[in-house]
Chain A
Amino acid sequence: MSFEDSVIKVVYASSKGDNVTVTDTLNLNDEQFDNFLLQEKTNQFIVTHSFKDFFQEILFIPPVKNKYVESLIEAEIKRKALFPSFSFIHTDLGEKVVDGKKMREVFVFAVRNDEINGIVNRFVQRDKVVKAFYPDIFVMASMIDSKDKPVLCVIEAGLNKTLFLVNKGNVSFVRTVQSLEHGLGDLDIQNINMTVNYCWQSLKMGPSIVMLTEHLCRNYNATMNAAAPIACLTQRYVSGKSDAAHDYTAAVSAVLVPASGKTNLLTKEFKRFFQLRQFLIYSSLLFLISSFIGAGYAAYSTNKITEMKKRLISARMTLPGIEGTVTAYDSKSEELNRYAPYIASINSAASTPDLQGFLFLLSKLNMDNVKFVSVSLTSGENVFHSELKGSVKSDSYGDAQRDFQLLVDRIGKLKGFAVTDHSLDLKNKEFQIKADFNDL
């Protein structure tokens, strides 16, 4: 939307890269505006405004760090403009030596916050969002090719004409003049020429051309010559209703300006307001969607619970008489415990080596050359300690030793036997063999 004096121009457009597509245009007056907002479904707007009351000047500030520049400029504007509260745009024009000192040349453009808030408030009252608020001259300046040489632009707002000098894409000077008629007449050409002279004299630069915007070209009624060649601003990158868009230059140009740029004059208070509003709306949507998902999950879980409850009831019904089972188990355990001493006794008996087996194995030994005289057994811990005494029948010492050793080896090989000691008295050929027996 472009607020131009008593007319409010509305443009429906979208942008893709550097191209703008205009789908519809509309003109409103002030009385129709509130109603329009009430009925309009669109929620977000970009607004441009033709400021009548503004402060503009070229300031020289000392070269300081960037973070201090705005504070310095604000202080200067407060001192000179006497605005109670204001928003401003500043453009760095480069460095200059002033009175032998290196200074920073800055163009400032300041407007009263009341003027901005008055318009934005009307949107807020109708629950609409203003994404950005631009002075019309700055959005149009961004559309003008002034890389090589400065351009003086002329726009009409009501009967007034606004002249602004654009150099390398930046606004360097702004002036509003009153006019007698719509379109461009001789009085307007005089004002243009005076402005051109001023630029040469004060700013030390002059426009290469004078760019007329919107219908000024169609309503050219001047007979005087301008101090610089006259040209008409054309919008090369507009599609859709491009002919109609020709008279809506400010609004169409605003579509391409990034909202985060320096030319957005939306006050901090409103920026915070719109951000908070957006946060609350998106959060509410998120809560709502999450609630639906959560409710769906809860319903699914409830279904699962119903199934599980059926399973539980079924499980309880198929459970055997648990009390009877436990009672029988406890009773039988108690009875078995009374037999524990007997079980211990039986186990103790089972853990004793087999004495009969011991005697049986001994009987299997080859006794041709030996004669057992006595066998003694003493019970130990899971073992029998045995002592075998006898004599060897062999005549010679060598045979006796050999037969005795054979006997010891054979005993050692018997299952469960472990020879612990053995001795042979060669004089009387009597032997003694000690062995442990454990066949467990």
Chain B
Amino acid sequence: MIYERLKKVLTYYLLTGIVLGVVVIAIALVGKYEENLALSIDSFEKIRVNSIRMARATEEKERIISDIKGLLPAAYYSASNEGLLLSAIDSIKANIRGSDVTIANIENKGGELTLPVGIKTSFDSYGMLVDRIGYLQGLAYPHFRVEKINIERSEEMGGLICNITGTFTIPAEKVEGEGSNG
């Protein structure tokens, strides 16, 4: 059979084919490995960048916490929430002299303690009114929310009569801490 003469050539063909197959597999494996290495290097770089960002974010959070602590009153960690609310009432009475302050019961609604307050007072001048309103607005903790305000001119007294209705609100849960302000 003449095809027997092809044995040698066929052997070369198969051998070179196997070698090529092995080379192709090797290239595929090496290529995959290289791709995964590149991904790993890329990931490490991302980790490095993200860890720097994370450190900066941690510093930012620390700053925010410090600012918040700065807004809390000195008595925050020693007094109870109810005590803080009632101290605020005392503070109003002290700063708005001659005011008639009425309060209702403290309520716990949606994770907040609320204390409805009614303030009735009179001012000699509009400027003083604006000033006292500014004081009420500036109360950071507890925060005073004005719901209604009515200002009338008093002909008999010659000044302004002001009726303010609002609420003091603070979070019901207290944060445990050292108690220092910032």
A binds B: yes
Which residues of chain B come closer than 8 Å to A298, judged between CB atoms? 23, 26-27, 30
With an 8 A cutoff between CB atoms, is A346 at the interface?
Answer: yes
Residues of A within 8 A of B93 (CB): none
CA of A345 to CA of B139, assembled, Å = 12
Q: Taking CB as reference atom, which chain A residue is nearest B6? A: A277
B140 and A349 form a contact (CB under 8 A): yes
Query: Which residues does chain B contribute within 8 Å of A332, judged by CB atoms?
Result: 58, 61-62, 65
**Is B153 in contact with A373, judged by CB distance below 8 angstroms?**
yes
Query: Which of the residues B6, B51, B134, B175 comes within 8 Å of A322, measured between beta carbons?
Result: B51
Contact A356 B30 (CB under 8 A): no
What is the distance, in angstroms, from A385's C-beta to the closest C-beta of chain B? Answer: 10
Question: What per-residue 1/0 map shows which CB atoms of A301-331 lie under 8 Å from chain B?
Answer: 1101100110110011011101001101100
Binds B, one of A4-12, A139-147, A284-292: A284-292
Contact between A280 and B13, CB atoms less than 8 A apart: yes
In the bound complex, how far is the Cα of B35 from the Cα of A301, in angstroms? 11
The total of chain A residues at the interface (CB under 8 A) is 69
Quick one: given A291-B19, A301-B34, A315-B45, are A325 and B54 in contact (CB under 8 Å)? yes
Q: Is A270 an interface residue (CB 8 A)?
A: yes
Q: Which residues of B contact A354 (CB under 8 A)?
A: 137
Cβ contact within 8 Å between B5 and A374: no
Give the residue name and chain of the B residue nearest to A301 (CB): B30
B10 at the interface (CB under 8 A from A): yes
Chain B residue total in the interface (Cβ 8 A):
71
Would A269 and B152 count as touching, CB distance under 8 A? no
Question: Does A269 lie within 8 Å of B2, measured CB to CB?
Answer: yes
Q: Chain B contacts of A343 at CB under 8 A?
A: 64, 68
Beta-carbon nearest neighbor of A373 in chain B: B153
Q: A269-B2, A284-B9 are in contact. Are A291 and B48 (CB under 8 A)?
A: no
- Knowing A283-B13, A287-B19, say if A309 contacts B62 (CB, 8 Å): no
B147 to chain A, nearest CB (A): 5
- Tell me which of B9, B24, B41, B65 contacts A277 (CB under 8 A): B9
Interface residues of A in 337-394 (CB under 8 A from B): 338-339, 341-346, 348-349, 352, 354-356, 359-360, 363, 372-379
The 0/1 profile, CB within 8 Å of A marked 1, for residues 63-76 of chain B is 01100100110000
Bound complex: CA A332 to CA B58 (Å):
6
CB neighbours of A276 from chain B (8 A)? 3, 6
Binding-face segment, A120-128, A241-249, A405-413? A120-128
Q: Which of A295, A328, A339, A356 contacts B130 (CB 8 A)?
A: A356
Q: Which of B27, B57, B71 contacts A329 (CB 8 A)?
A: B57
The answer, yes or no, to whether B169 is at the interface (CB within 8 Å) is: yes
Complex Cα gap A298–B30 (Å): 7
- CB <8 Å contact, A319 and B47: yes
Give residues 33-89 of A contacting B (CB, 8 Å).
Answer: none
Residue contact B147 to A378, C-beta cutoff 8 Å = yes
CA distance A433 to B16 in the complex (A): 99
* Contact A295–B23 (Cβ < 8 Å): yes
Q: Which residues of B contact A342 (CB under 8 A)?
A: 68, 71-72, 141, 171, 175
Residues of B within 8 A of A269 (CB): 2
Which residues from chain B contact A375 at a C-beta distance below 8 Å? 149-151
A294 with B20: CB separation less than 8 A = yes
B50 to chain A, nearest CB (A): 9
Tell me the bound Cα distance from A352 to B149 in angstroms: 14
In the complex, 27 of the A-B residue pairs with CB atoms within 8 angstroms, ordered by the A residue number, are A270-B2, A280-B6, A280-B9, A284-B9, A284-B15, A287-B20, A288-B16, A288-B20, A291-B20, A301-B27, A302-B30, A305-B30, A308-B38, A311-B41, A315-B44, A319-B47, A332-B58, A338-B175, A339-B65, A342-B68, A343-B68, A355-B136, A356-B130, A356-B137, A374-B152, A374-B153, A375-B149
Contacts A276-B6, A376-B148 known; list 4 others, CB within 8 Å. A269-B2, A273-B5, A295-B23, A301-B27
